[in-house]
């Protein structure tokens, strides 16, 4: 056992060292900087940087937009991916082709795909051209409140394939005998879905929701490539705020904002773990 542990530690050491050097230590230094007046020979100022950050209208707007984006996109992601996975788990037409199609966005570089979205949602783009031919007024998609829904649509399109794979793996692990027994007892589709499918998919649902929340905080790439540094107000996210603070070399606000966002993600993850643990205890009881 000791030899196996030593061998495992040896193989894990490069990854652990890389994580320590490039992630953990810089993050710890960022937390320290958030309590200082300057990153170079700065003095300890306590929570002053955080108070100044919370007083910033730009930060509050970015935090609110990030919250609403996550609150809207994550439930949609979980619901759509589960629905599509249940369809693909049946004998539908072109099932194998559809499985491949939903995985394709995972392997296509974001930067190249964004060019297509720019052409699609531009003022003179494809979508507005089709609408104009139908007698519908053009919409400035990325400079109006529609921008939020465009980003949500791009986020769903980019990430839904991975979640479909997870749900399909969970669906295929549910014993078919349970559904046969439910049919004999006269259970309807809704009862089978709530009492069998959802119960056995709880681990997969938990993981999908967790990964969707984390990915929703990484939507900066898409919004930045589509709309630039200062996008429409509804899609000005925390990542935009931190990127602008980095460009202006305001390290204190940058590190304070990053610490708050990291703390928020940790609290969400802890709450999800607690919820999943209580559900397991309820089912076991």
> Could you report the per-residue pLDDT of 206-242, keeping only the tens digit for each?
889 988 888 888 887 777 777 776 788 888 888 888 8
Task: Give every residue of the chain whose pLDDT is below 70, as ranges.
Answer: 1, 91-99, 111, 229, 283-285
Numbers of helices and strands, H then E, in the chain: 15, 0
Q: What is the pLDDT of residue 285?
A: 58
Q: What is the pLDDT of residue 77?
A: 92
Residue 23 DSSP class: I
Q: Can you give the residue ranges of every domain in the chain? A: 56-284
Q: What is the pLDDT of residue 76?
A: 93
For tokens 């491949």, the residue is: 100
Q: What is the pLDDT of residue 1?
A: 64
Q: What is the pLDDT of residue 145?
A: 82
Q: What is the pLDDT of residue 96?
A: 66
> Could you report the per-residue pLDDT of 251-276, keeping only the tens digit for each?
888 888 888 888 888 898 888 888 88
Decide yes or no: CATH 1.10.3720.10 for domain 56-284.
yes
Query: Full-prediction pTM beyond 0.85?
Result: no
Q: What is the pLDDT of residue 92?
A: 63
User: Are the C-beta atoms of residues 43 and 36 closer than 8 Å to each other?
Assistant: yes
Q: Where are the alpha helices (DSSP H) in 89-141?
A: 95-107, 110-121, 126-133
């Amino acid at each position: 056992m000791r030899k196996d542990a030593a061998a495992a530690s040896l193989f894990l050491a490069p990854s652990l060292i890389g994580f320590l050097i490039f992630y953990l230590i810089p993050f710890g230094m960022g937390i320290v900087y958030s309590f200082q007046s300057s990153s170079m020979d700065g003095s300890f100022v306590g929570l002053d940087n955080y108070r100044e950050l919370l007083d910033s209208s730009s930060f509050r707007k970015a935090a609110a937009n990030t919250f609403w984006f996550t609150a809207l996109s994550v439930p949609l992601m979980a619901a759509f991916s589960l629905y599509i996975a249940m369809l693909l788990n049946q004998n539908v037409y072109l099932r194998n082709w559809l499985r491949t199609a939903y995985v394709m966005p995972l392997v296509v570089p974001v930067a190249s795909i964004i060019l297509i979205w720019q052409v699609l949602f531009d003022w003179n783009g494809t979508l507005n051209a089709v609408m104009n031919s139908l007698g519908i007024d053009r919409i400035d998609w990325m400079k109006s409140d529609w921008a939020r829904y465009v980003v949500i649509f791009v986020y769903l399109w980019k990430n839904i394939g991975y979640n479909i794979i997870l749900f399909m793996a969970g669906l295929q692990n549910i014993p078919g005998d349970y559904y046969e027994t439910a049919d004999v007892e006269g259970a309807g589709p809704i009862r089978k879905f709530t009492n069998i499918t959802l119960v056995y998919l709880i681990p997969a649902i938990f993981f999908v929701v967790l990964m969707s929340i984390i990915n929703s905080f990484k939507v900066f790439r898409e919004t930045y490539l589509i709309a630039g540094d200062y996008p429409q107000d509804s899609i000005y996210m925390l990542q935009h705020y931190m990127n602008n603070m980095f460009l202006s070399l305001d390290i204190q606000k940058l590190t304070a904002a990053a610490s708050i966002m990291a703390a928020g993600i940790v609290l969400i993850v802890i709450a999800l773990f607690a919820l999943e643990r209580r559900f397991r205890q309820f089912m076991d009881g």
